[in-house]
Amino acid sequence: MRYKEYLKKIEGKESWPMIVVDGVVGVGKTTLMNILVEELGYTAFLEPVVDNPILDKFYYDRKRYSFPLQIFFLNNRFRAIKEASLIDKAVLDRSIYGDLIFAKLLMENNEMDEEEYNIYTDLFENMAEHLCPPKLMIYLETSVDDAIKKINKRGREYEKVVEKDYWLRLNEQYAEYFRDYNISPLLKINVDNLDFENNPKDREYVLNLIREALK
């Protein structure tokens, strides 16, 4: 099933006043989220990574931990987006809308059983009935090599052990997802040659793109 089929229950609803920042691991989602907090007065909702009891185990044994990890993320992202929907200006570092990307990748890699994937997608579609689209979805595009450089610089050991082919397949799934994505306005920003964390010109360039998209 294509990604847009899973999102049909969200399509056409009135949007929630929130921005979602999405993209592959290491692309700069949290950095951009923090900039939106500082510059535009948004309230941040972080991805559940720091207090995640499964994430590091998953990278060392994806077959064993893929299903419980995805259920953990799905549950926490549903909780976060319900809270964010009650705030006038929220920004989320990833969200439940794109949670499917990782589950589909793991199923196609035979690292999640088909039965587990069916349970996961059934739960996702059940939750989707209670969701509305975001005001704006921001997709940070990047090459795999650039993402790996940022992952290595960040220095999380459990990410550094992952083979390049996994990141390649993940990037392909992201590209497929955002080709299908149609539930809200979408802003794609290629960040391969941008440093919006340290370069003021790049920062202002990205902020202007977002301000324009929000109009």
Tell me the pLDDT tens digit for each residue of 154-203.
656 666 567 788 888 888 999 999 999 999 999 999 999 898 989 999 99
Residues tagged active-site: 93
Q: Is 196 annotated as a binding residue?
A: yes
d(CA 80, CA 184): 19
Q: Is 41 annotated as a binding residue?
A: no
| Mean pLDDT of the residues in the chain | 90
Q: Is the pLDDT score of 48 beyond 70?
A: no
Question: Is 28 marked within a binding site?
Answer: yes
> Does 31 count as an annotated binding residue?
yes
CATH number of the domain that residue 49 is part of: 3.40.50.300
Q: Is 12 annotated as belonging to a binding site? A: no
Q: Across the strands, what pairs with 137?
A: 20, 186
Which has more confidence, 149 or 174? Answer: 174
Could you give the strand order of the β-sheet that contains 134-141, starting from the edge strand earlier in sequence?
A: 43-45, 90-93, 16-22, 134-141, 186-190
Surface-to-core class of residue 187, CB atoms within 10 Å of its CB (0-12 exposed, 13-18 middle, 19+ buried): middle
In this predicted structure, what is the pLDDT of residue 68? 95
- Beta-carbon contacts of 152 under 8 Å, excluding residues fewer than 6 positions away, are 160
The pLDDT value recorded for residue 161 is 65
Q: Is 26 annotated as a binding residue?
A: yes
Please give the residue range of the domain that contains residue 101: 3-8+15-214
The answer to whether 117 is a known ligand-binding residue is no
Q: How confident is the model at residue 102 (pLDDT cuts 50, 70, 90)?
A: very high
Residue 145, pLDDT above cutoff 90: no
Cα–chain-centroid distance for residue 88?
A: 21
0.85 surpassed by pTM: yes
Number of domains into which the chain is organized: 1
